[in-house]
Amino acid sequence: MDAISKSIFHKTRIEQSVTLVQTKRDGERRRRIACLMSHETQNGASVMIWKLLPDQTAHLVLVLPVYCDFRLSLSKQETYLVKFESDSKSIQLEAGSIDELRQFVVGLQQKMLYSQTNKLYKDSPEFQWLSLYQMPDSVDFRPPERGSSAGNMSNPFIQTDTSSPTTMKMVKEAWSAKQLRERELQFSNYSKLRLFTGTWNLNGQDVQEQLNGWLNEDADIIVLGFQELDLSTEAYLIVDTTKEDALCESIEIALSALPDVYSRITTKRLIGMFIVVYCKRTHYPFVHDVSAESVGTGILGMMGNKGATAVRIKIFDSFVTIVNAHMAADTSMVERRNQDFQDICRRLVFPLQPRFKDYGAYCLAHPWVPGIKDAVPSLNGFVDTGISSAVFHASSFSKSTLTLFDTDHLIWIGDLNYRVNLGEQEAKELIAKGQYKQLLEYDQLEMERIASRVFCGFEEAPVQFSPTYKYDVGTNVFDTSEKKRAPSWCDRILWFRNPLKFNTEDWITCKKYGSCMELTTSDHKPVYALFDLTIRKLDPVKLSKTSDEISRELDRFENDAIPDLVLNQTHLHFEETKFNTIQTKTVLLKNKGQVIGQFKFVPAVEGPLSKPWCRPVPLQGALMPGESLSISISVLVDEKTVHKLNSGKEGLDDILVLHTVNGKDLFIPISGNFNNSSFGVPLVSLVRMLQPVRSYNQKDFLLMQTPVTGTQNPVSAKELSKAFEELNMNPVKFNPLQNQSLSIPKELWRLCDFIYRNCRDTDNIFAASGDPQISDYIRECLDTGIDFDEKQLFRDAMYKLESSPSKEIEPMPLEGELVDVDGFVQEQSKNAFFVPKGKTIAVHSFCDTLLLFLKALPEPLILPSLQKRIVQEGYLTLQSAKQVLGSLPNAHYYTFIYLMSFFQQIVQSYTAKTPLDPDRLANLLLPLVMPEEASKQQQPVFTLNSITSFFYPKPVDPQEVTPEQARKRKLTFIKHFLQ
């Protein structure tokens, strides 16, 4: 686990882990470690699969975010099989026994329940932290800017994942693909193809009318989408093709009246949604790679009463995709319809053809076809806005699928159900006058598109026909029922602008857009649109010639010179670095050479890449000639590293080595000044500091941490008896001063005093998170001696206090002054500024700071040497617990007594809605006051011969205390002092 802990990013934590086995296709068995990962500030969780390399470093194999549709499967064969499925990715692993999995599965099920309850999808901000662990596709050459040239291109291969190095072969392939895209005109011929699209909501009715009035255009391809083909309950349960067969028969009768003969290519049905594609028989030999898929967005966000069916075909050398959608009904459900659109875009995918091993291989074979990355600017704010980029990030899709936007032409048809925000009578008056333009000002789809909330990047031809909903069945009369719905254009046809053909005005043109009023079977009218599409035909000879030219140019790039990477600065200095506050600086890396330059950070000597408080990003990558890249270098002194800096054992200095493949290494010296902190100072030293830590110069600060004879003496029996007597009489009255030193750290007292006075009516203390900015302010006050500005802290809550005054809570009592007032309270510091957010957030921030204070102690409250006694005898009774406690050094003893009395008083006086359970407090305090010692043994090498002994270890001695038993006894020890 140490190797994995070193590989994860800041604020990421491992909640559970289990060692499992993966069986390869060739029968080889490999050890894998499944970790349940979470983030300190974002609630989204993920299962990450790791493997350990021979050099004992960790390699990330797979990231499986716990979205609301995450699946967990368990089965029993010769061994226990566990399967994780997320976002079209899955992995099956083996466990020797269910006991190994139990704790991991329980924790995972809790995360799954949270995601399902809160409907956490891919685009949820709770999963933004996973971008740090992005698993890149095999190749991704699509440029973020159109019109880039070979001499000035953005390289999409810059990575932060050291486990997936960029290979020169991949870079060459990507560069060649970009050049083919830019030179498409050199080897492509273009022609026009006529596409007829139609949509009709049948309202569950059987078509008895002739469709010739609707299907009367001589088109090369005809695509028809239907909704509510079948409204019966049985349609959800039984697959019955009777209705669709009858509908196809009616369609083909109408098509038989046209001059050409048509062949049916494919169909797709989902409950009541149905799409069918026909093409002229003369074109049939040139139609390839036909795919038909569906997705439900109805009940529970998954059922097929709403959603879409879609087809994707290759005609000659162009791809055409048509989506037939049926979205949420009712005038008020605008946001739900917008969400349906996003869900369809995110979840409706097509499988790759078997000849492509992954999405990267497909991209290399079709560089001239736009893809999802090309569509992002149109969908996400460069042209229009309205859809989160996280939804459409290429890495969000499986490597074996294609999105709706991996196509040359995308047409969206269907009953989109957007209504008119106007009364029924007013709408009919405008229709009677033929004033469709005025009525369209109230059209919900137009309003949402203008506001960039839906269908960004799409276009629609001018609507010059009467609304298509709602009519009395069998007539052309608008709804006369009791509801008298306002006439609306529910049925629409739109198309997506090809992001690579913005300058080609006739790439797609809509020749006709209208409705067919003569069909009265349904309460909807059919709608149609006639398009002229530009279709690509590749010339193989010219394509081969262009590819050869590109290869020769790439060879010249590679042979001209060696990589020449330079930095714009060679030294970084971090001023005023503070505990748990991240600082980031950037350096600019530029490729001044004429060939591709690959780089990666490497250790200066054997060991880690950098000091634990320093992290560069990205760790490796590649630059094309003339390209530049900003490298971020962050410094964060956390609870694991602060002690060495406080004690002077280490300083803020390091040297990063940036290695250039086939070139010279670059060196980046790091230096900085660390502001001393009370966090990470041993208790025996902290109680000797009567003044705030920042008031000492560096020499005195280090001197105060030098061990002094007598400070580590255990508590005498007399002192022990007196302390417990005072604890039982009045736990919160405790004298912190003793023999020119403090009994407890003044910083701890200030935190506890604030919490004690203000937490009684604050719900979820020690469970909810505070605000990082306020926590920074609290630590600054503790280290400098500044008074907490409670008026500022509570500013957002002051109005409530004035309107409903309550009895003022007295400060937490102390006998005697903690320190001299003049020395303790200093002038307000400019660095102590924060934005107030109210009493509740302030209390949670103080609670966070108290726990962090305990976590940062270099020596825990209960020393490891006493933990064995606690497990053996100290847990039995309160008296035995007191006897063990008496062996602690004075500072640890008094601090533990004070802390337990503080929590005891909190439990007794707590009046918030959610009770403060002593059991929960004990579980919270256990890893802080008695943390487990990190294992110093090296991770054993896992081989095939050791599998049996790994899964089935020797029986445990019944007299030996198991780790779980030891943990329960330690909890009992703590609870003796909380009750």
Instruction: Specify the amino acid at residue 704.
Output: M
Contact by Cβ (8 Å): 277, 222: yes
Section 84-107 average pLDDT: 84
Residue 370, CA atoms < 13 Å, CB-side half-sphere: 25
DSSP string, 765-785: TTTS---HHHHHHHHHHHHHT
The predicted structure's pLDDT at residue 131: 73
Question: What whole-number distance in Å separates Cα of residue 851 and Cα of residue 634?
Answer: 25
Does this model's pTM top 0.75? My answer is: no
Higher pLDDT, 645 or 830: 645
**Cα torsion 376, 378, 383, 384: sign:** negative
The predicted structure's pLDDT at residue 957: 53
Q: What's the DSSP call for residue 478?
A: B
The predicted structure's pLDDT at residue 766: 86
**pLDDT above 70 (res 150):** no
pLDDT band per the 50, 70, 90 thresholds, residue 877: confident
Other CB atoms closer than 10 Å to residue 10's CB: what's the count?
A: 13
Section 217-221 average pLDDT: 96
Category of 12 on φ-ψ map: left (φ > 0), alpha (ψ -120 to 50) or beta: beta
- Among residues 339, 505, 501, 313, the alpha carbon closest in space to that of 411 is found at 313
Q: Element (H or E) spanning 136, and its range? A: none
Contact by Cβ (8 Å): 200, 578: no
Task: Find tokens 């009940």 and name the residue.
Answer: 299
Question: What whole-number distance in Å separates Cα of residue 863 and Cα of residue 893?
Answer: 10
Instruction: Specify the amino acid at residue 179.
Output: Q
Contacts of 138 (CB under 8 A, 6+ apart): 170, 357, 358, 359, 360, 361, 399
Higher pLDDT, 483 or 807: 483
**577-608 b/e (C-beta count within 10 Å ≥ 16 → b):** bbbbbbbeeebebbbebbbbbbbbbeeeeeee
Q: Element (H or E) spanning 248, and its range? A: helix 242-255
Question: What whole-number distance in Å separates Cα of residue 777 and Cα of residue 719?
Answer: 37
Task: Find tokens 């919900």 and name the residue.
Answer: 444
- Among residues 535, 141, 64, 130, the alpha carbon closest in space to that of 359 is found at 141
Q: What's the DSSP call for residue 850?
A: H
Section 662-687 average pLDDT: 90
Question: What whole-number distance in Å separates Cα of residue 871 and Cα of residue 968?
Answer: 9
User: Roughly how many angstroms between the first and final C-alpha of the chain, as a whole number?
Assistant: 36
Per the structure block, which two tokens stand in for 736? 């912190």
Other CB atoms closer than 10 Å to residue 87's CB: what's the count?
A: 19
The predicted structure's pLDDT at residue 934: 52
Question: What whole-number distance in Å separates Cα of residue 833 and Cα of residue 825?
Answer: 17
Per the structure block, which two tokens stand in for 662? 């086939």
pLDDT tens digits, 588-622 = 999 888 777 888 999 887 778 889 999 998 888 88
Higher pLDDT, 545 or 564: 545
Q: What's the DSSP call for residue 352?
A: P
Taking only Cα atoms into account, the Rg of the chain, rounded to an integer number of angstroms, comes to 35
What SS3 string covers 111-126? HHHHHHHHCCCCCCHH
Whole-number average pLDDT of the chain = 82
In the three-class reduction of DSSP (H, G, I as helix; E, B as strand; rest coil), residue 869 is classed as helix
Task: Find tokens 């050791």 and name the residue.
Answer: 946
Instruction: Give the rounded percent of residues in the chain with a pLDDT score beyond 90.
Output: 41
pLDDT tens digits, 919-945 = 888 888 889 989 886 543 344 444 444
What residues does 287 pair with on adjacent strands? 315
- Among residues 275, 458, 471, the alpha carbon closest in space to that of 383 is found at 458
Per the structure block, which two tokens stand in for 114? 């949270």
Instruction: Specify the amino acid at residue 161.
Output: D
Section 664-688 average pLDDT: 90
Comparing 37-41, 380-384, 581-585, the range with the smallest average pLDDT is 380-384
pLDDT band per the 50, 70, 90 thresholds, residue 116: confident
Torsion from C-alpha of 960, 963, 966, 971, nearest 10 degrees: -160
**pLDDT above 60 (res 159):** no
Does residue 618 have a cis bond before it (omega within 30 degrees)?
Answer: yes
Instruction: Specify the amino acid at residue 935.
Output: S
The predicted structure's pLDDT at residue 598: 86
